[in-house]
């Protein structure tokens, strides 16, 4: 468990503050993450990485000379928001283009893709390489669905060295892509991890047992077996990874490989060395040449007791990037010459809105929207732990706290907008942006889309009615499916949002009142959320554990139904002025 914390919802912010304070000689804090203390050369490509907190040294610990130029740092086990990513990217941009490189998780993909689109619209050339090294998370035939874990390091390093050498964005992209094709990782765990403020781990492993292929966000393993000896574990890891030798390696004997033995949090260095001793013997026995192995904690999961082994099958070109010098808060190799010139500027970028003053009727509607958001926050706050428990069955267990963070930010932004005399549409828009930025992750991005689309439909002039709300929900459904790619039946919040849209359209056609329409919608949402217990997840972190989720409703669907019900209750109390 986590022993030292203040407010769990502020844990990520406070750890980032302390991290930067320790490493002022290497990194600089910017809005959304950290960047190298020294600027990249004008006109060169820069590498930007990122991900959730709780995995130190990934990801901020890999920012510095010889590695990443910047990192966006999300909340605990949640991807950074698109706005955080854009903020860091704009500060670190040197004019030669940006390569995004990150692990293959739904929230990261959603938010980095959104950021990439925004930056391209600004005229910044951006490419992305998504790391897929975890062999347990999907078959080789579906390698594009695999997660990114400790194999991110050699991919990051390959891209960074190429960028600092002055190569073009196309070349940096090519080199990082090839590195990703040549890296394989497998992890095991002897215990789950416990989120800050939680009283129980996300999953438990019986004494004497071992999970194979668990996720770094606390997702349970793909299979379970009796825990072997240190030598026995080394044999399991080596044999399974050698079975997946990349196809471009024609003859393993004589191949040169980088090796990473990574501790996930509670397995300490002495134990790692015992395991590595056997790994070295086994790999050498297969005729492989090990080049500069790394035994360290590189991507962790709080107090999870576990390890992972990574093999990086190098070409001559990639071996040079693996051996190149680096000096970051968490990774050191060789000697790096530091310059005292060209230090980073203190440029801070934020998501600023020019708030439009609404009409008198829209301002009155905005007071109701604030009451609705407050009611939604109260409903989620009560059910936060239950939502986390649902999420932990086949996911990472952070859904409840992520929704709590997002709604708290939305309410705060709504109050500021109301004080500025914003209309209902603008209030929803700034609330959606605040939710997305604060919560991060998949749900943060999707709820940001939902609120922005409903806000756009309501506008800041007209009196809201069921037709405008129905149009906004239809647009929200379209935006969510376009962004997240989930469809009806994939066991996501879409399984509630779709019937909710149908219900609101029906209410609009029958000229129901706003309160009556939402009451009908709440009944539909409750039934739709409960029905997801019979579905298999086809997208997101729960997909590798699909069978485990049967009999349990999707947490995203459940939280949406809770919010819809809270809206219905709040509107019955507050929206009488709009029913006349």
Active-site residues, by number, are 217
Query: Dihedral (C-alpha) 180, 183, 188, 191: value to the nearest 10 degrees?
Result: -40
Rounded distance between C-alpha atoms, residue 369 and residue 571, angstroms = 9
CA distance 10 to 274: 37
Residue pair 60/361 in contact (Cβ under 8 Å)? The answer is no
Contact 532, 557 (CB under 8 A): yes
Q: What is the distance of C-alpha 152 from the center of its chain?
A: 14
Distance, in Å, from the CA atom of 452 to the CA atom of 571, rounded to the nearest integer, reads 20
Residues whose CB falls within 8 Å of the CB of residue 193, separated by 6 or more in sequence, listed in order: 201, 202, 218, 265, 301, 302, 303, 304
Tokens 């949002």 correspond to what residue?
Answer: 497
Residues with Cβ within 8 Å of residue 96, at least 6 apart in sequence: 40, 43, 44, 45, 46, 168, 169
Verify cis geometry, omega within 30 degrees of 0, for the bond prior to 113.
no
- Alpha carbon separation from 387 to 273, 315, 400, 501, 580 (Å, rounded): 39, 46, 5, 23, 38
Sign of CA dihedral 163, 165, 167, 170: negative
Task: Note whether 36 and 28 are within 8 A (CB).
Answer: yes
């Amino acid at each position: 468990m986590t022993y030292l914390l203040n407010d769990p919802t502020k844990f990520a912010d406070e750890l980032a503050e302390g991290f930067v304070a320790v490493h002022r000689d290497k990194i600089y804090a910017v809005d959304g993450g950290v960047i190298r203390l020294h600027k990249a050369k004008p006109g060169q490509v820069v590498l930007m990485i990122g991900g959730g907190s709780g995995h130190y040294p990934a990801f901020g610990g890999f920012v510095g000379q010889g590695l990443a130029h910047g990192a966006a740092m999300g909340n605990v086990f949640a991807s950074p928001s698109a706005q955080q990513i854009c903020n860091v990217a704009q500060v670190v941009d040197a004019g030669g283009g940006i390569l995004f490189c990150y692990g293959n998780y739904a929230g990261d993909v959603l938010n980095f893709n959104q950021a990439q689109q925004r930056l391209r619209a600004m005229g910044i050339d951006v490419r992305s390489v998504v790391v897929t090294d975890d062999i347990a998370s999907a078959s080789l035939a579906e390698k594009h669905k695999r997660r990114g874990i400790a194999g991110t390091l050699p991919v990051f390093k390959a891209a960074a060295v190429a960028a600092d050498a002055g190569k073009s964005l196309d070349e940096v992209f090519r080199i990082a892509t090839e590195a990703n094709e040549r890296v394989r990782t497998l992890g095991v765990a002897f215990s789950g991890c416990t989120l800050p403020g939680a009283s129980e781990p996300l999953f438990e492993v019986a004494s004497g047992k071992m999970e194979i292929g668990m996720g770094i966000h606390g997702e349970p393993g793909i299979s379970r077996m009796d825990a072997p000896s240190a030598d026995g574990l080394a044999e399991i890891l080596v044999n399974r990874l050698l079975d997946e030798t990349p196809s471009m390696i024609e003859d393993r004997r004589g191949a040169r490989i980088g090796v990473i033995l990574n501790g996930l949090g509670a397995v300490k260095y002495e134990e790692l060395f015992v395991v590595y001793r056997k790994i070295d013997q086994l790999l050498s026995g297969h005729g492989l040449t090990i080049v500069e192995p790394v035994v360290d904690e590189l991507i962790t999961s709080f107090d999870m007791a576990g390890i992972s082994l990574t093999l990086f099958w190098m070409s001559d070109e990639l071996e040079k990037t693996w051996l190149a010098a680096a000096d970051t808060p968490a990774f050191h190799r060789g000697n790096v010459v530091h310059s005292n010139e060209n230090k980073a500027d203190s440029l801070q970028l934020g998501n600023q809105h020019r708030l439009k003053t609404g009409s008198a009727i829209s301002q009155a509607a905005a007071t109701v929207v604030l009451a609705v958001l407050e009611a939604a926050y109260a409903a989620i706050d009560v059910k936060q732990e239950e939502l986390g428990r649902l999420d932990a069955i086949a996911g990472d267990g952070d859904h409840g706290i992520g929704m709590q963070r997002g709604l708290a930010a939305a309410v705060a932004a709504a109050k500021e907008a109301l004080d500025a005399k914003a209309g209902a549409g603008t209030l929803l828009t700034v609330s959606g942006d605040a939710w997305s930025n604060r919560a991060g992750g998949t749900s943060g991005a999707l709820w940001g889309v939902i609120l922005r689309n409903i806000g756009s439909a309501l506008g800041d002039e007209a009196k809201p009615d069921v037709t405008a709300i129905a149009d906004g929900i239809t647009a929200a459904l379209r935006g969510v499916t376009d962004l997240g790619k989930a469809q009806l039946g994939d066991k996501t919040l879409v399984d509630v949002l779709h019937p909710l849209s149908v219900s609101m359209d029906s209410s609009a056609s029958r000229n129901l009142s706003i309160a009556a329409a939402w009451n009908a919608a709440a009944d539909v949402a409750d039934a739709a959320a409960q029905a997801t217990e019979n579905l298999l997840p086809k997208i997101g972190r729960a997909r590798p554990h699909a069978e485990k989720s049967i009999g349990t409703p999707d947490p995203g669907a459940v939280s949406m139904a809770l919010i819809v019900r809270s809206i219905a209750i709040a509107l019955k109390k507050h929206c009488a002025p709009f029913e006349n």
